[in-house]
Amino acid sequence: MYMRAIGLDTDHPTLVDTPRRVAHAGLDLFSGMYGDPHRALGGGEPIEGVYPGAVAVHDIPYSSMCEHHLLPFQGVVSVVYLPDRSLAGIGDFDAMLRVLAARPQMQERLADQIAEVVSETLGAKGVLVRLTAQHACMWARGERTVGATAFSLASRGVYDTDPSARAEARVLLGMH
């Protein structure tokens, strides 16, 4: 329907298979719709005794599809968390992010979902997520603004309630 709406000849030999190709691409692009991000992050490695410090995971690349225009956005995610009962590996964060990003998304909601999954799954005392993105809806349409980056923050636990803990987490994220 979209192809006809913009005036394309859907019977043209080069376009006849396009709807099928788009459907297959959609299965891949939105494969996270039925995945479980908690399971992807895993239960983490149990902490024996008290782990005294925050853990930071920086610059995990991702791409997602904006639910408003169905155009891609991409960037990096950094997470700081204060462990309580378990630790997770970098690969676990990447797996969780792949599930959450492979859904129609909004950047701000993605940051919030990451914070929620880390908080719930690892039982973290605090979580601070910094997500950056460049959106195709900015550079591929309208004013075609190339190079603009949007930033989102989401937090849970002590990083919501304790200003000194939040300041420390911001430093670990490179936000002075």
Residues 71-89 pLDDT 10s: 999 999 999 999 988 889 8
The full set of domains in the chain, from first to last, is: 35-172 (3.30.1130.10)
3-state secondary structure at position 53:
coil
Give the separation between CA 11 and CA 114, rounded to whole angstroms.
Answer: 44
- CB-based contacts of 131, cutoff 8 Å, min separation 6: 75, 76, 77, 78, 107, 110, 111, 114, 151, 152, 153, 154
Residues 24-45 pLDDT 10s: 888 888 889 999 999 999 877 7
Give the separation between CA 129 and CA 55, rounded to whole angstroms.
Answer: 12
Residue 78 sits at φ, ψ, to 5 deg, of -125, 140
What is the rounded average pLDDT for all residues in the chain?
Answer: 91
Give the separation between CA 113 and CA 119, rounded to whole angstroms.
Answer: 10
What's the whole-model pTM score? 0.90
Residue type, 163: P
